[in-house]
Structure formats: C-alpha cells, structure tokens
Amino acid sequence: MTKHIVTKPFFVVNPKSYLCGEKLLELAILADELSCKHNITIFVTAPYSDLASIAKQTSHIIVTAQHLDGISYGRGMGAVLPESLKNVGVKATFLNHAEKPLTLSALTKAINKANELGILTIVCADSLSEAKAISVLRPDIVLCEPTELIGTGKTSDEDYIQQTNEIIKSMDANILVMQAAGISSPEDVYRTILLGADGTGCTSGIVCAPNPSQMLKQMIESLVEAFTKRRM
C-alpha cells in the first residue's frame, strides 16, 4: 500500500501519556492547522483510544500510533494489531522507543507488517551503532535519541547529530533522520534543524509548558526558519 509522503522538515508532537481526550484533540487540531499553514509534515502521536477521534477530526497531520506489533489476524491477546490501527486512520507508528524496546526479531516483523499496510515507521535508536543496525531494516525514519537525554532538556551534541546523520544516509539516502533528544525550546528546534536533521519533535517541552499551544506554534516557526536558512 502507498505510504503518506513525508516532506522535510517534519515535526513530531509526541504527548506520550501526558495528554488524552479533549486536551489532546485540541492540540492535534492546532497541529493540523499549523501543518496546513506552513505546508509541512507534522506527526501527532496519541494513546490507542484517541487515534480514531483525532483521525476523524483532522486532515493534514499524520496520525501516529505509539507502537504496533508485527502480528496478523488471529492470536495476540494484549498485542496491538496493525490492521486495527490502519482501519481507524493511523498512517505512522513509533517502534523501539526507550519506553517500549523491541528485540531485533520483533522489530523486523513490525517494520515488515507496517510496510505491508502502508504505515510509516519511526524507529528509535539510542546510539551510533544501533542507528547503523536499524538502518539495515530500511525504516522510513530513524529517531536518533540517546536514552539518557530523554526528558532532560539536554540536547545531543553537534558531533553526535552529524555522525548519526552521516551513518544513516550512507546506509540509505532515502531514510529520514530525526534528532529529538532533550528538545525543550524553539531554540533547540532551530539548532537541531540547522545542524542537518530532517526533522525533530518534542514531548515535555510542549505539554509541560505554561502555554502548550503557544510553544508548539513557536517550535514550528523555528523549524521552518531554520530549514529555510539551511537551504540558502
């Protein structure tokens, strides 16, 4: 099946379990408006129970699951059936996040199943070596995010960003590279994109901000500004 086309730069709004229901829907609708306004790709993740509602009430964002399992119809009590996500409008999924790590076998099955259904894969890597290994599986996006930096407000250093970018692109130039460790401000977004990332994203920097909507707007503006400057 055909996958949604991801344009650069892209941004991932990833509230994890900080938000659900109406508050999450409001943020998703804002992201939808910003995606249209700036003509950029914005992913929005959500708990499984909110995915259908968000998909029905948005038109531009890529509605994204936090995880899926590489299973088919049949047994799989407690697992996430990919077809169930596809049926409610999910177009992408995270895999192998630090909070939901996968074995190589499970990751391979999940990527293959997502490919079969036309679901984009954002696969997390916490080191240079893991980024290289994951690139062999040809996911759509590799998220380079050292586990020890998640939620700390400390971003990856310049060498790490440039090395992971180079390693992944050398394996497959079509794989998009996302750098998102410690992103907590518009300045972090600007720096990360300027250093060569195809995209970035944020969790606590948005949902824990005094005004999450305003923070999201400012981050998207910084994303566009940095990418424009990089292309000059």
- In the chain, where the domains are located: 10-231
Lowest-pLDDT range of 50-54, 55-59, 163-167, 206-210: 163-167
State phi, psi for 62 to the nearest 5 degrees. -95, 105
Residue 80's identity, in one-letter code, is V
Q: How far apart are CA 128 and CA 123, in angstroms?
A: 14
CATH number of the 10-231 domain: 3.20.20.70
Q: Which helix (H) or strand (E) holds 62?
A: strand 62-65
Torsional sign, CA 41, 96, 73, 48: negative
Omega into 146 within 30° of 0, i.e. cis? no
Kindly tell me if the per-residue pLDDT of 153 is higher than 70: no
Please tell me the pTM assigned to this model: 0.94
State phi, psi for 78 to the nearest 5 degrees. 90, -10
Rounded average pLDDT over 5-15: 97
pLDDT of residue 150: 46
Tracing tokens 């399992």 back to the chain, one arrives at 69
**Catalytic one among 38, 83, 97, 225?**
97
Rounded average pLDDT over 68-89: 97
Let me know if 67 is a catalytic residue: no
Rounded average pLDDT over 113-120: 98
* Region at 34 (left for phi over 0; alpha for psi -120 to 50; beta for the rest): alpha
State phi, psi for 228 to the nearest 5 degrees. -65, -45
Say which DSSP state 3 is in: P
Residue 41's identity, in one-letter code, is T
B/e letters for 27-50, b = 16+ CB within 10 Å, e = fewer, are bbebbbbbbeeeebbbbbbbeeeb
Let me know if 38 is a catalytic residue: no
pLDDT of residue 1: 79
**Catalytic one among 26, 145, 221, 225?**
145
- The tokens describing 64, both together, are 């994204």
Kindly tell me if the per-residue pLDDT of 181 is higher than 90: no
Question: Which residue, 203, 205, 200, 181, is CA-closest to 190?
Answer: 200
What's the gap between Cα 63 and its chain centre? 10
